[in-house]
Structure 1
C-alpha cells in the first residue's frame, strides 16, 4: 500500500511511538495525582508541553493547553472567545473554505446571538480581501481563518487578517492544523492557535490550543480545570509524550523534499487533462488536489485500491455531499465530484509517489 493521504492523517513518527511506549506499558499514574508516580507523570506532560510550545510559539507570551484534538481546540477558541466578548461585539467572521469544526461551531453560535459573516473566496481559494475589510469592524468579536486549507492546500493571508482584526480590537483565531511545521506560521498576528498531533506525525486523540496572554477564552468543559483552570479532563501522559516528540522533530524536516515530490507529481500529470484546484503558488505543496472532467472517482479508487488517496476531505468522505471547499471556489457539483486529493510528506519517496501517480493517471485516462 502506498500512503498518499497525509491531509487526513500523517504516519506516526518512530520517535513519537518510542516516547509513548513507557507511558502505555510501564506507568499508569494519573498526572493530576499528588503522589510520586503522579508527579512523574505530570513531569512527562510538562516536558511535552515545553516541546510543543518551543515548536509552535517560542518567542510569544502565551500558554499552551492540551486538548482532545484540534476540533475541541477550535470549538473552545470560538465559543469561549465569543462568550468572553459579550453583547457589544456580536459579530463572528470566518471564511467559506474553513474546516467544518469552525463552520459548524460559528453556526451554533447564532443561537447565542452571534452575527456570523462567512467571507467568500476567489477561484484561487484565497479570501476576498475587500469583503474582509468590509466585514471586520468594531462590532467583531473574532476572526477565524485556516492557515493551510485541508482540501486544496491554499495558504490564507493570516498575517494580514490578524492585523485587520487587531485594528478593530477583535481576536484572531487561527486553525494551523495543516500548516504548522509546513509553512511559516505568523504567530505574532494570532491570539489563539489550534493544532493537532496526528497531522504532524504524532498520535491521534490529542491536540492543543495556544492562547496569547490576555486572550483566554471562557471554559467550555467543566469538571476539574486540570489544564490551567480553563480546560477540564484527565490528560494522557502517553499521548502528550508522543505529541511532544513529534513536535520536536518538525524543525528537522527538509522543505526541499516536498518541493521535489511536488515537481515530480506535477510533471507526471502535466501532459494529461488534470486541472489543479486552488492557487498554484500560495499553497502547501504537499497537497495536490486535481480534477479531470468526467472522472468517476469511486471507480478510480476501486481500480487503485493499493494507493491510499482521497476523494475529498476525510471528514466528509461517505457523506454523499460534494466538498464545500470546491463549491466555494466556483466548481459545480459535477466538477467537485471529479476531484481527488493526493497528499505526501516526510516519509514519502519520490519513486513511490511517481509510480502511484502514474497508476492513478493511467486508470483515470482509461475511463475516457
Structure 2
C-alpha cells in the first residue's frame, strides 16, 4: 500500500525494530504462562516479565513492584479512578480533574458522577493552561483525588506538574496523572505522584499493553481491583499476562531512556520548521503555548471547512483533528472548545505530531501539500 507521510505519532507509534525482535521469541519458543510456577516454561516467562517491569520502572523513577500491567492506558485509568471510588464507597466523595483531559478520564469521571460522586472540571486559559489557584480553591475536606494529565494529547501542553504535586502532598490527596503522552518523550518522575498511567504504543512499543504505577509505602490507600479472577499483578488486575507485549513494552522503555533527549532536540527543530512555515499561511493560528512537547503542533486554519480540510490533507499526510479516539467526530475538539476556540475554527484545526521516522523532507512535503489544500479550499 502506498501510505501517506505519517505525522500522527500522538495517536500511535510504530514498534521499533528492536522491540519487534525482542518480542518474537515469546510468541513461539518461550510460550509459557508467567503464572505457571511449577516448571521452567513459566519461570522463564515470569523472569522476562519481571525484567520488563524493571525497565519500565526505570523510565519513570519507580520501583518495579509499583508497576501493574494492564491492557492499555484506558484500563489503567479506569482502575485508578474507579478503584479509588470503590475504596471510599459509602463516603462523600469529590474529585478534581480538567476540561481538557483525555476522554478516557472524562468519561470515567462521568460514570462516577452517575454513582453519586462530585466532580470539579477545572477550566483552562486560551493557551490550554491550568491555573493552580483554581486547583487550590477547588479542594474540599471530602476531595479524594486530583486527576490531571502530565501533557495534553492534542496540543502537547505540559501542565505545571511539580506545583500540582506539591498541592496534592500538602493536602494529603491522591494525585493521579495520565502520563501517556509524556512518558518516553520528556523526563518524568513518580516522586509526589500516587497513581500514573502509561502506554506502550505511544513510545514505540506494541498496542494492547499499558501500566498503572501504584505508589507503595505511603499512608494514602491504593485502588481496589476492577478485574477479578486469579489475583494476578498483586491482586490489582487478574488475567493471564501478555508476555510478548510486556517484553516489547520493556524494550521500548529501555530504548527511550537512551534516545529521548537527542530525539527530542531533533524533533523540536523539525516541528519548529513545520510550524513556522504553516503559520506563514494567512489566517492560521497556533493552538496552545510554547510550553509543550517538542514534537507537537496544533494549528487552526481559518476560512476552510474542517471536514474537507482533514479529508484532503490526509490524502498525502496522515494527521488528525484531535485524539485518535474522537478524530472521526464532526464535532470540534473538546480540548479546543475549552480553550475558547469557536466551533468553526476548532473543526478546522489539525494536530501534527512528529516521530522517529520523520525527516526534513517529510516536513517540506507536508508544508507544500497543506499550502495547496488550503489554497484550493479557499479558492485562491
TM-score above 0.5: yes
Q: What residue number does 1:156 align with?
A: 159
Q: Distance in 2 between matches of 1:310 and 1:317?
A: 6
1-side partners of 2:370 and 2:159: how far apart? Answer: 29
Using the size of structure 1 for normalisation, the TM-score is: 0.95
Q: How does 1:60-209 map to 2 (within 5 A)?
A: 63-88=66-91, 90-209=93-212
1:313 is the counterpart of 2:319: no
Are residues 88 and 162 of structure 1, via their aligned partners in 2, closer, same or farther at CA, if it must alter by over 3 Å? farther
Offset at residue 88 of structure 1 (A): 4.7
Residue matched to 1:23: 26
1:242 deviates by: 0.5
Aligned residues: CA RMSD: 1.6
Contact 2:307–2:348 (8 Å) recurs in 1: no
Q: What does residue range 1-368 of structure 1 map to in structure 2 within 5 Å?
A: 1-34=4-37, 35-58=39-62, 63-88=66-91, 90-213=93-216, 214=218, 215-253=221-259, 254=262, 255-273=264-282, 274-279=284-289, 281-304=290-313, 305-368=315-378
Detail structure 1 runs of 4+ shifted over 6 Å in the superposition.
none
Unaligned runs of 5+ in 2: none
The separation in 1 between residues aligned to 2:275 and 2:81, in whole angstroms, is: 37
Q: What secondary structure, in the 3-state scheme, does the structure 1 residue paired with 2:146 have?
A: strand
What 5-or-longer segments of structure 1 have no aligned partner? none
Query: Which whole-Å CA distance do the structure 2 matches of 1:150 and 1:190 have between them?
Result: 20
CA distance in 2, matches of 1:109, 1:97: 18
How far apart are the structure 2 equivalents of 1:320 and 1:165?
A: 37
1:173-217 deviation line (CA, Å, top 9, x unaligned): 010000112223242121111000000000000000011114421
Asked whether the 8 Å contact 1:137–1:168 carries over to 2, the reply is no
Name the stretch that deviates more: 80-89 or 190-199.
80-89
TM-score normalised by the chain length of structure 2: 0.92
8 Å Cα contact 1:61/1:212 also seen in 2: no
Count of aligned pairs? 366
